[in-house]
Amino acid sequence: MDRIRIGGGRILTGAIPISGAKNAALPLMIASLLTRETLTLHNVPRLSDVRLLMRILGNHGIDAAISGKRIGQSEESGETITLCARDIVDTTAPYELVSRMRASFWVIAPLLARMGEARVSLPGGCAIGTRPVDLLLMALEKLGVEIEIDGGYAVARAPKGLIGGEIDFPKVTVGGTHVALMAAVMAKGETTIINAAREPEIVDLAECLTKMGAKIEGAGTERIVIEGVPRLDGAHHHVLPDRIETGTYAMAVAMTGGDVLLEGARRDLLDSALAALEGTGAHIAQEEAGLRIKRNGGGILPVDITTEPFPGFPTDLQAQFMALMTRAEGNSRIHETIFENRFMHVQELARLGAKISLDGDVAVVEGRRKLKGAQVMATDLRASVSLVIAGLAAQGETVVNRVYHLDRGFEALEKKLARCGADIERLSGEK
């Protein structure tokens, strides 16, 4: 199993190209099941989650191809993939695949829309919490779907086809909103989604569906109205830049010091996280080519944060911000409100010398810690990358194990950081 070795203590300077967003690419790929025509996605990040989803979609009968490189494209420019679901050959998504990637549960919506039936394994728990799918199933039931749970599978049928309705989410859910959108676009009549998630990835999916012929109003607000259409066509769509990758590298620079241009990044996608970073003393400027982040000398000021649905501070940047706060000039308070168990990084940060106390969903981070390199590992993607950031600022050598978590969501992580002067390399194979 690969590991990443980091020699800490170097400042970061240069430029990092920001990849297409994993959490936009996945639902966009799933949306290709909605049409017999070809969906072409540009700027798709090279990630193991994308490869796995291609396999899962292949199981349903999708022909997927990755286009060759074009002149002028660097190794880091995203890929163009084409997906064509001319005939859906299988409406079952098996446990072996869904349990490896929760988002693949979302195929339930387009399978129902196209075939009137789906049998999809329940994803089960994961490292960051229980993560139920009750609200996703509730949304489908509002559109006339009959669902029973049998042998660990959600067996869903829409005998009269999907029928527009009102879906009022009691809690904001990104996956629930993706599923509701994909089910409603070809339902008969009008669907209203109330208390919809407003994440930029929802807007990206809605924009792509609109190019495919869907009629959607209000994506990016709490109320989305969809007028069903009988069929969707193919389209071309560019995946939006990854706001979590952007925030992660911005936090790395805020921690090590330096000056880095995050190419292609957009402030409007992560305003609240950048405002918190500015509170710590980092300078951030939107330039034409992307976002520039600088911290020269000066201490890191402590800032309290609370994770919230968009436009609040994203839970997917909580672990990285915690790493930064271990070096702040005072104590800070981090309140996690989205996932009940998303503090798995606390014990690993402690191995590097951090002092963090937990009380339910609140972590109090003691500042002014001198971090020292160590062997660490983590059980989820964002927790793993928080250890990389901490390692960059620690004294001596840090080795991050279980790198496959990083490969799920960060394209060419070690190459991008090394280009900015970090001492970081991938060590392959068993120790």
Q: Note whether 381 binds ligand EPU by CB under 6 A.
A: yes
Q: Which residue is nearest to ligand EPU (CB)?
A: 175
Question: To 10 degrees, the CA torsion angle through 356, 360, 362, 364?
Answer: -20
Q: What is the C-alpha end-to-end distance of the chain, expressed in Å? A: 8
Alpha helices in 259-317 (DSSP H): 271-279
Nearer CB in complex with ligand EPU: 328/390? 390
CB of 315 closer than 8 Å to CB of 342: yes
When binding is defined by CB under 6 A, the residue of 134, 146, 166, 222 that contacts ligand EPU is 134
CB of 154 closer than 8 Å to CB of 123: no
Closest CA to 343 of 327, 328, 312, 365: 365
Closest CA to 296 of 259, 261, 268: 259
CB of 302 closer than 8 Å to CB of 367: yes
CB of 194 to ligand EPU, least distance (A): 15
Strand partners, 150: 153
CB of 180 to ligand EPU, least distance (A): 11
Nearer CB in complex with ligand EPU: 356/378? 378
- Cβ of 252: how many Cβ atoms within 10 Å? 28
Nearer CB in complex with ligand EPU: 300/376? 376
DSSP code of residue 11: -
Q: Note whether 338 binds ligand EPU by CB under 6 A.
A: yes
When binding is defined by CB under 6 A, the residue of 97, 103, 317, 394 that contacts ligand EPU is 103
Tell me, yes or no, if 126 is annotated catalytic: yes
Q: Draw the binding track, 145-174, toward ligand EPU (x: CB under 6 A; -: no contact).
A: --------------------------x-xx
Residues in Cβ contact with 215 at an 8 Å cutoff, skipping those fewer than 6 apart: 185, 226, 227, 228, 229
Nearer CB in complex with ligand EPU: 196/420? 196
Subset of residues 273 to 332 that bind ligand EPU, contact rule: CB under 6 A? 315-316
Q: With CB under 6 A as the contact rule, which of the stretches 4-12, 30-38, 132-140, 230-238 interacts with ligand EPU?
A: 132-140
When binding is defined by CB under 6 A, the residue of 20, 110, 144, 175 that contacts ligand EPU is 175
Which positions are annotated as active-site residues?
126
Binding residues for ligand EPU, rule: CB under 6 A, are 23, 26, 102-103, 129, 131-136, 171, 173-176, 315-316, 338-339, 381-382, 409
